[in-house]
Homo-oligomer: A and B are copies of this chain.
Amino acid sequence: MKDKNDIQSFKTDRPLIVFGATGLLGSQLVFMACADRFSPHLILHGSHLPRLEGLKAEILEAGFDGIEVTITTDTDEACRQGGYLFYSRSVQSGKQTREEMLLDNAPTAKETGLAIRKAPNSIHRVVCVSNPSDIIGLTLLIHSGLAPEQVFSISALDTTRYIRAIKEVLGIEREDMSGVYTLGSHDMSMAVMRDTVRIKGRSIDKCISEGLMTEEDWYEIQNRVVNGGRMVIKKRGHTAYQSPAYLGYQMLLASDEAVFSYPSARYHNSSLFPHCFLSLPTIIDSKGCHHQRQSYTDRDIEALKRSYQSIRTLRDIAIEHGHLPNTALWEQKLQEQTDELILKEKSKNI
């Protein structure tokens, strides 16, 4: 990362490769990156050449200085020069269930992973926002052969919605809360952590026992988090795309100087949650996405286990359809277990 005060400089010299560049989310990300002078070289991949040409025209005609734009419909070509890779490639079939989306999007994720593996220049980081984002991230990781730190999927919106819900239901400011995490799967089975939260230093149980909030408040908060994505679709008439573009861009940008600290989904393998890709407390820094140790109550572990089932089900469907190899065949570095990340504690305040 270069000196950010030099207006002519860029954040990185590496190319920024965007898959799904012409979609609403992808093109939003592209303009954010141009406006912020992320990279002097954009490589935009899509399935429809005229739409890529139209997007390129808009970029060139916005008057950004010194940004070269390459467009391609060829996956290998897009990956050849290496760099930062933003993955928002998605088949627009109108299908809705996670399983249908998986079967639509896993083949192109596998193709992209294989293109990353054979690219002569290294891919530095992959940020995935294509749904189902946990398994699409896993598919990119397995086929690319990149390190687990280098490939991560967005789930931060599930946590920012939790923060917003606490703020609005309880009237609590952001700086008065900590340990607010939504973990596990980025879908309706997401695990809204209850016992990690501290509000002005108090657990949710303690807040309830002291009359500062009610059990109904907790259900209302949880409901707003789990249904937050549906609410945006209902209100705007389409899925949220601007907030994930912004958060996804922060994940691309993240460095030792600007650590991204909302939970992200990445590879995980422990005796509790073997061979999966899910959200736990993480940070993203210059070296990539790293788990943070966290202790959980039995109640929160149970919520994580339910959420893990959703990921395991989709993972096994991907294996069954040949989009992923059997877990026993995954690389040696993916077989090491990291049980020490998940510490157990008893819920103290029930």
A232 within 8 Å of B (CB atoms): yes
Alpha-carbon distance A45/B172, docked complex (angstroms)? 27
Alpha-carbon distance A216/B36, docked complex (angstroms)? 38
List of B residues within 8 angstroms of A192 by Cβ:
none
Is B32 a contact of A62 with CB atoms below 8 Å?
A: no
A53 within 8 Å of B (CB atoms): yes
Of B31, B54, B156, B240, which one neighbours A63 at CB under 8 angstroms?
B156
A348 within 8 Å of B (CB atoms): no
Alpha-carbon distance A103/B262, docked complex (angstroms)? 48
Report the nearest B residue to A161, measured CB to CB.
B61
Alpha-carbon distance A157/B63, docked complex (angstroms)? 9
- A159 CB to closest chain B CB (Å) equals 9
Interface residues of A in 32-77 (CB under 8 A from B): 32, 34-36, 50-51, 53-55, 57-65
A235 within 8 Å of B (CB atoms): yes
Of B34, B58, B242, which one neighbours A31 at CB under 8 angstroms?
B242
- A239 CB to closest chain B CB (Å) equals 10
Is A236 a contact of B62 with CB atoms below 8 Å?
A: no
Alpha-carbon distance A243/B308, docked complex (angstroms)? 42
Total copies of the chain:
2
Alpha-carbon distance A242/B51, docked complex (angstroms)? 14
Is B236 a contact of A54 with CB atoms below 8 Å?
A: yes
Is A240 a contact of B22 with CB atoms below 8 Å?
A: no
Alpha-carbon distance A240/B35, docked complex (angstroms)? 17
Q: A35-B246, A61-B228 are in contact. Are A51 and B236 (CB under 8 A)?
A: yes
- A283 CB to closest chain B CB (Å) equals 15
Is B60 a contact of A164 with CB atoms below 8 Å?
A: yes
Is B243 a contact of A53 with CB atoms below 8 Å?
A: no
Q: A35-B32, A50-B235 are in contact. Are A62 and B164 (CB under 8 A)?
A: no
A247 within 8 Å of B (CB atoms): yes
Is B243 a contact of A59 with CB atoms below 8 Å?
A: yes
A28 within 8 Å of B (CB atoms): yes
List of B residues within 8 angstroms of A22 by Cβ:
236
Is B234 a contact of A63 with CB atoms below 8 Å?
A: no
A314 within 8 Å of B (CB atoms): no
Is B242 a contact of A57 with CB atoms below 8 Å?
A: no
- A265 CB to closest chain B CB (Å) equals 17
Alpha-carbon distance A51/B28, docked complex (angstroms)? 18
Alpha-carbon distance A157/B65, docked complex (angstroms)? 15
Interface residues of A in 237-266 (CB under 8 A from B): 237, 240, 242-243, 245-247, 249, 262
Alpha-carbon distance A64/B34, docked complex (angstroms)? 19
List of B residues within 8 angstroms of A156 by Cβ:
63
Further pairs besides A55-B236, A61-B160: 12, Cβ < 8 Å: A22-B236, A28-B28, A28-B31, A32-B32, A35-B36, A50-B234, A51-B236, A53-B235, A58-B242, A61-B161, A61-B164, A63-B160
